[in-house]
Copies of this chain bind each other. A is one copy, B any other.
Amino acid sequence: MGDLPDKERAFFEWYIEVLERSGITDKRYPIKGMNVWTPFGKKASSLMDRLIRSKIEPLGYDEVNFPALIPETEFKKEGEHIKGFDEQVYWVTHGGKTELDIKLALRPTSETAMYPMFALWVRSHRDLPLRVYQIVNVFRYETKTTRPFIRVREIHFFEGHTVHLSAVEAEKQVREDIDSFVAITRALCLPHLSIRRPDWDKFPGARYSIAFDMPLGGSKTLQIATVHYYADNFARAYGIAFEDRDGTQKIPHQTTYGISERLLGAVVGMHGDAKGLVFPSSIAPVQVVVIPIPGAGDSPELTSATEVVMNSLKELGIRAVLDASDERPGSKFYRWELKGVPLRVEIGRREIAEKRVTAVNRLGTKTPLLLEGLGEGILTALSAFDSALAARAEASLRSRMVQVTDGGALNPEVVNVIGWCGRAECGHEVEKTPGLSLLGTVEDSEHLGKLPPPVCHFCKNPTNAVWAVAARPL
């Protein structure tokens, strides 16, 4: 096979080709935008799910599973919400040959499935906070161009839903969720921006929405997750109420937290390169591939050396594969690089003689490691690889962000960081630069560097001005 398309110049050609060649997904399924999770892709996805669980269960979330179908009558109770999904819902209208009395929505998200039940579950202040999550597939009838992981019609989805005594507690939950997402992206070596969406772009039914965006494909940005504060909006619509300590009936406040399979798309899009996928070690289906380099007459020694290596990796719970086929080493390197394996371990005649192996990480760094204490050496090498990967991603993010502090023209080819007074008329000015939208205001400045106090890019007023981001959302 020839080279992959150039990632910088033709991002989506590169993206589609790297997905296909690596075998992480199969998009030949006969429904547009519904793809098959292959064994390789499913492993990465399951490891991603495990990572998400490990960061959100300590916050007190319990796993549940709600039905995938929602009666139209329930679905319609919150007006803004139904309007937001009006064009995107798949409707089940028949069971066998029988037309259903009430048509059923195939969940695009589960607020309207869960909240009628929350109304039964929540009775007293003692039932709160309620924190549940599910990892399920949701369905959206997308009419835009579909792309694996990034815009699909069946979406692998983490959704957390919480109910609280008060606005204060609900907003505290929002902060905890934001922090947990930072922990998740750290484990994936991905930097992201936490951005509060402008009012005109918040989730249907939410009081406000914090979104997590990541640059992707040169100048664009991808929303990979969101946390929403619903206040008591849904609770009122679905009749969720509780008796407080003082005996009065109160309406609780709610939040949600959603992470879609786009996070895997972001891993592919941010870390991948001209050789193929690059996985951070946390979700790499294979973390280490061991490749014997055969020479003349050294087979039995080589076999026993690779066994020693494999055993010491497995003892430490490292996901390792031995590739001892009789293909030539170069072809093996090529294939495992394409699949994004963080670390390749080579053992040949020279390594055996010197009681060591050669570890080569996916970014090309070579390290000799002694056979004695090899497992520990591998863990250190994986951790160094993750740090280098994170630094490369961080540099990529920074190189795409430009602070525009002089009131100059916005650049549709970068992520523009500008001052904004918060007024809609100024915010919509962004759209005069073709392709650009105001993503919203910056919730954290970790990746922004030092910024001066802002004035509004448009009206020049410093009053209420905060830093905001204008970019081209995918």
Contacts and interface: CB of A to CB of B under 8 A. Distances in A.
A88 B96 contact: yes
Contact of A31 (B28, B71, B96, B97): B71
A325 interface: no
Given A65-B42, A67-B154, A106-B106, A93 B96 contact: no
Chain copies in complex: 2
A89 B29 CA distance: 20
A374 interface: no
A93 to B, nearest CB: 5
A43 B63 contact: yes
Interface string A51-81: 0000000000011111111010110000000
A247 B106 CA distance: 46
Interface stretch (A33-41, A168-176, A329-337, A425-433): A33-41
Contact of A63 (B34, B46, B154): B46
A128 to B, nearest CB: 15
A145 interface: no
Contacts of A63: 39, 42-43, 46
A413 B349 CA distance: 73
Contacts of A98: 141
A94 B93 contact: yes
B67 A38 contact: no
Contact of A92 (B28, B65, B92, B97): B92
A20 interface: no
Q: Which of A65, A86, A94, A139 has the most CB of B within 10 A?
A: A65
Contact of A68 (B30, B39, B71, B137): B137
B62 A39 contact: yes
A198 to B, nearest CB: 25
Contacts of A121: 26
Given A36-B67, A67-B36, A68-B137, A89 B93 contact: no
Given A35-B67, A141-B96, A26 B117 contact: yes
A16 interface: no
A91 interface: yes
Contact of A95 (B36, B69, B104, B141): B141
A132 B73 CA distance: 38
A120 interface: yes
Given A37-B65, A66-B36, A69-B154, A90 B94 contact: yes
Contacts of A93: 91-94
Given A36-B117, A87-B97, A97-B86, A31 B92 contact: no
A39 B6 CA distance: 47
B104 A96 contact: no
A96 B92 contact: no
B29 A66 contact: yes
Contacts of A104: 31, 90
Nearest to A132: B39
Nearest to A140: B95
B87 A106 contact: no
A116 interface: yes
Interface string A100-111: 000010100000
A28 B117 contact: yes
B31 A67 contact: yes
A95 B106 CA distance: 10
A130 to B, nearest CB: 10
8 contacts: A34-B67, A36-B117, A37-B64, A42-B62, A45-B65, A68-B139, A93-B94, A96-B141
Given A69-B154, A106-B106, 11 more contacts: A36-B64, A36-B66, A37-B65, A39-B64, A42-B63, A68-B137, A86-B97, A89-B96, A91-B92, A91-B93, A96-B141
